[in-house]
Structure 1
């Protein structure tokens, strides 16, 4: 599989049984994004949207995810950013840096669980016009 250099957003309630390369699936109801690893290895990558994990920015055409995607548990250990729909490669992390990053993530997730608040995706969508049907 050829690694994509861009990801096209597709808003869906649930992810398809088989994801397509070059697509970032976004589930608002489940506050989750999913895509195939951008290195081309074919592994599925899931990014939960929450203040302690990833946040999504959608400009009406392209998406960005923050922070970077570090696939430390995959054999490829790829590391990249998704910025305005484009894949931006980052440097490889050492084993020590991966361990530090995982510890920080656990700490942030624990803080978020203790003090829940609306996530960045909810705040973004709350600014959009809403039509009740």
Structure 2
């Protein structure tokens, strides 16, 4: 449930250490914004402005961020849109939807930056167990473990 229905924006050079609830801090110098989670849990939410992340629109009076903000790593798992300073609750996402979006995001970044998408790391085959050395074999024979 969204507790903060509106976010007032403040243009700053540096994001402050402590975020005031209901304020969207925007640093053009660092191409990022930050705010206290819209649900009221108090967690910090950072949205970087890049060609593959969020887009910020300032209409002279209000700020909008696109795409939506999905706080999937936070306990609250809140999901909302910031549109002209209003915080609009969006539907929750399943774990499958979150993983699909992460894969899409990774592919978009790879495409934009001219890299191949990161594949899952290959599974390393188990190394064969080394045969016991001469003295180990003698010890096992003497001790009756062979």
Sort the TM-score into its range (normalised by shorter chain): 0.7 to 0.9
Q: How many residues align?
A: 114
Instruction: Extract structure 1 runs of 4+ deviating beyond 6 A.
Output: none
**Residue aligning to 2:135:** none
Distance in 2 separating the partners of 1:14 and 1:111: 30
What are the Cα deviations for residues 3-43 of structure 1, in whole angstroms up to 9, with x where unaligned?
21001110001111100011110000110010010000000
Query: Matched residue of 1:109: which SS?
Result: helix
Stretches of structure 1 that go unaligned for 5 or more consecutive residues are 116-133
Match of 1:17 in 2: 17
* Length-normalised TM-score, structure 1: 0.82
**2:42 matched to which residue of 1?**
42
User: Higher RCO, 1 or 2 (CA under 8 Å, sep at least 6)?
Assistant: 1
- The question of 1:93 aligning with 2:93 is answered yes
1:6 matches 2:6: yes
Larger C-alpha radius of gyration, 1 or 2? 2
Match of 1:118 in 2: none
**Structure 2 unaligned runs (5+)?**
116-146
Task: For residues 58-77 of structure 1, give each alpha carbon's deviation from its aligned partner in whole angstroms, at most 9, with x where no partner exists.
Answer: 01110000000000010111
Query: Alpha-carbon deviations, 1:52-92, whole Å to 9, x = none?
Result: 00000001110000000000010111000000100000000
Report the alpha carbon displacement of residue 110 of structure 1 after superposing the two structures with TM: 2.0
Q: Corresponding residue for 1:28?
A: 28
